[in-house]
Chains A and B, each alone.
Chain A
Amino acid sequence: EDQVTQSPEALRLQEGESSSLNCSYTVSGLRGLFWYRQDPGKGPEFLFTLYSAGEEKEKERLKATLTKKESFLHITAPKPEDSATYLCAVQPFYGQNFVFGPGTRLSVLP
């Protein structure tokens, strides 16, 4: 069975304190890995897609990386507005539905 786990479950950072979120997966294939940001009461907002090990994507203070077994979302010098739940999802093969991880709730304190 395809599974995606995320750690930590919750993370509290001071403003400016860099850290990383982890997404680990045990899946039958890896067509793509997707990161989303979700604010309370709103729909998930797409951040990145990664397709192959070694690939990296960046957007503002966020950088996503991918290995054969896991992905990291690095947050550099976070600000309070980065507080949200970060979800990762894996698509094992083209045409298959996404498998979502449980998410990491990030709080950045001023």
Chain B
Amino acid sequence: DTEVTQTPKHLVMGMTNKKSLKCEQHMGHRAMYWYKQKAKKPPELMFVYSYEKLSINESVPSRFSPECPNSSLLNLHLHALQPEDSALYLCASSQGGIGNTIYFGEGSWLTVV
């Protein structure tokens, strides 16, 4: 079983809603990631926090906003999303900073209506 826990597993939201995805790991990892995955495509990196410092993929729209309250927790705040944002959102972590094996959570299925 994965040690990266994501909630909720499924989320349906309207285009005017504000919601958040949550992720937690207790492996002592110091890098945490958000990936987006569409059907039959590989995961695409959205954000990474390494030692609680954010690195941004500049192609990610501002309607996605990450937050790292501490080294074990990672949130993804969602606001004014579009239907094309419907996807599987994966949280992941790696030991140390960016540079070691990435371990994924089970994902949060997001549907924007």
Contact = CB atoms under 8 A, between A and B. Distances in A.
Note whether A and B form a binding pair: yes
Interface of A: 31-32, 34, 36, 41-46, 49, 87, 89, 91, 94-98, 100-103, 105
A106 to B, nearest CB: 14
Interface stretch (B12-20, B61-69, B96-104): B96-104
B41 A43 contact: no
Interface of B: 2, 4, 40-43, 45, 48, 88, 90, 92, 97-99, 101-107, 109
Given A43-B104, A43-B105, A44-B104, A95 B43 contact: no
A45 B58 CA distance: 27
B107 A98 contact: no
Contact of B2 (A45, A49, A101): A45
Contact of B43 (A32, A42, A46, A100): A100
**Dominant SS among interface residues on chain A:** loop
Given A49-B101, A95-B97, A96-B98, A43 B107 contact: yes
B99 A100 contact: no
A91 B42 CA distance: 15
Given A41-B88, A97-B45, A102-B42, A91 B99 contact: yes
A97 to B, nearest CB: 5
Nearest to B99: A94
